[in-house]
Amino acid sequence: MDSPYIVSARKYRPTTFDSVVGQQSLTDTLRNAIRTGKLAHAYLFCGPRGVGKTTCARIFAKTINCLNPTADHEACNECESCQAFNEQRSFNIHELDAASNNSVDDIRTLIQEVRIPPQIGKYSVYIIDEVHMLSAGAFNALLKTLEEPPSYAIFILATTEKHKVLPTILSRCQVYDFQRITITDIVKHLQSVAQQEGIEAEEEALGVVAKKADGGMRDALSIFDQLVAFCGNKITYQQTIEVLNILDTDYYFRIVTAALSGDVVQALLLFDEVLQKGFDAGQFVVGLAGHLRDVLVSKDTQTLPLLETAESVREQYKTQASQCPATWIFASLNILNDCDMRYRTSSNKRLVVEMGLIKWCGLVQQAAQPVPAATPQVQQTVPAPKPVPAATQPVQAQPKAGPTIPSIPTIPTIPSIRPVATVQSPATSTDSATDSTTNESNGGQHRPFTRDQFNDAWIGLKRHFPREERLLAIMSENKPQLDGEQIRIGVSNPWQKEEVMRFQKEMQAFLRQTLGNDGIEIEVTIDTSLQTHTAYTAEEKMKRMTKEHPELESFRKTLGLVIE
């Protein structure tokens, strides 16, 4: 009769400190404590799932009760205590699942058992798994025994949520923090398991399994069993990503290549192919950002250890990293992060991703465009025009001869760049053209403007200060008074006046340029009539409402209402 099937997570569970994967420092510490005989009465093993907390607790309990430990302080697996433990009939090691035994009565029963000394071996070890699930009363019942247990009693508490354990419990224990197992360690262990099982597995496939396990060896072994059930004795990369529903990393390499060359069409077609395979667009953006992060850490040998992937894929990352400038990667990550945030709130999610890809592909074109040279801000001398006879002066081509435009007076220098003046038609009177020219030459522009033109300029002035919330509130609350070229802004208090005065020069410059009038001046005055009294009491509120709506008073008297 064939022996029953045992899952790999149980079949290959470590039984010695040397066989524990990825926790070298912790196992060395426990082994040294056994060697020196400095054993604490309470331990707390905390860390993510599937990293070896309960396994190490069992190995530790088995080793300290071994009657003939080896030279390197491992259990001998031959003495009566070790055999009893291997056959699961040891009375020295007690395991309690706090998830289902979390009441005060369960802990009281445990305390009664602590009073019984061990029959074989030196210590009675009590392993409480998922200890954070204990109730507050159960924790309190455990406190006294945990602090001063009998000399032969040792408590080992295990939890995945250390922050839920009471500080009074933490202070009574030696705390051991288990870390996530690296992808490299998981791949090596899976290769060892596959070799013992006679299974041929590609390293890329095992790398995908290790990344999917997220640092947990138990999860990795469970996924490995799932792949064996599907693939048989040969596990390939393509079968692995198909079973686990994982997007092939080749898509990321190809779309990065398309973005580097600015090929928007290829990038959009690749994204559509990803969607056709049933993958979520949001997960695609997150995965692409993670791929670029891996490319970035591959650019330097010092950061290369941060790349958690199989050795066979590292060369691909190195090759692509050599093609990607670091500044381009930084800008790409910003675009993808912005796309990820917009994706969560958008109703047209596909369009958000496609627009992000288009913007991303345009980075290369933006970088290739030459930066225009800065224009030197120097005064330019305009030479005086040569006198031309009026009959041949080429001012404007007309089908019919029009009146002669007078010659422009010589301007020695242009102090600053100003908006181009509107070209007047030949029908414009000679006198008005002369007056306008004279005004500009006598102290800048003084173009007249209407109230509607000023209102439009005032709205544009508000848009000029989009982030100055206090100034915008004052401008919205206090309407300016226009007196020719004088603009008077009345405010209600000195604080508002000080706020407007901070931006007075910038506001004047904006209005002068917008309206083409250099004579505009802004004056800020305090108008006490603008001060408002906030109604706090019910009577004050009623008076203000009655003032605005007189019919409320008659309505109140008709119904006989009283203000309280």
- Complete DSSP assignment for 400-455: S--PPPPPPPP--EE-S--PPPPPPPTTS-HHHHHHHHHHHHTTS-B----HHHHH
Residue 237: both structure tokens together: 């990369």
pLDDT at site 497: 84
Residue 531's pLDDT is 59
- CA–CA separation, 27 and 21 (whole Å): 10
Query: Does residue 124 contact residue 154 with C-beta atoms inside 8 Å?
Result: yes
Contacts of 113 (CB under 8 A, 6+ apart): 94, 126
Count the alpha carbons within 13 Å of 366 in the hemisphere toward its beta carbon.
11
Question: What is Dmax (Cα atoms) for the chain?
Answer: 129
Name, in order, each residue with C-beta under 8 angstroms of 76's C-beta and a sequence gap of 6 or more: 66, 67, 68, 69, 70, 82
Q: 475: buried, middle or exposed (CB in 10 Å: 19+, 13-18, 0-12)?
A: buried
C-alpha to C-alpha distance for 51 and 129, rounded to whole angstroms: 14
Closest CA to 54 of 95, 25, 19: 95
Running along the chain, 564 residues long, what does each successive block of 10 average in pLDDT?
78 88 90 89 91 91 88 86 86 87 88 85 88 89 86 91 89 91 89 90 88 88 90 88 86 91 91 90 91 90 80 83 89 91 88 91 69 46 46 44 43 40 39 42 70 85 81 82 85 82 87 87 80 62 80 80 74
Query: What confidence score (pLDDT) does residue 351 get?
Result: 92
Neighbours of 280 (CB within 10 A): 14
Contact between residue 30 and residue 64 where contact means Cβ atoms under 8 Å apart: no
- Give yes or no for a contact between 210 and 193, defined as CB atoms under 8 angstroms apart: no
- Distance of alpha carbon 69 from alpha carbon 79, whole angstroms: 9
Rounded distance, CA 472 to CA 119, Å? 84
**Kind plus residue range of the DSSP H or E element containing 179:** none
Residue 228 contacts residue 330 (beta carbons within 8 Å): no
151, containing H or E segment: none
* Tokens coding 408: 């422009």
Q: Are 152 and 118 in contact (CB under 8 A)?
A: yes
Characterise 198 by phi-psi region: left (phi > 0), alpha (psi -120 to 50), beta (else): left
Distance in angstroms (rounded) separating the CA atoms of residues 420 and 436: 13
pLDDT digits (tens, 9 = 90+) for 153-189: 999 999 999 898 888 889 889 999 999 988 888 989 9
SS3 call for 547: helix
CB 51 within 8 A of CB 185: no
**Could you tell me which of 301, 334, 333, 331 has the C-alpha nearest to residue 317?**
301
Q: How many CA atoms lie within 13 A of 427 on its CB side?
A: 1
pLDDT value of residue 399: 45
Residue 82 and residue 64: Cα distance in Å, rounded?
A: 10
Cα separation, 468 vs 74, in Å, equals 71
**Residue 98's CB: how many other CB atoms inside 10 A?**
22
User: Residue 358 has what pLDDT?
Assistant: 92
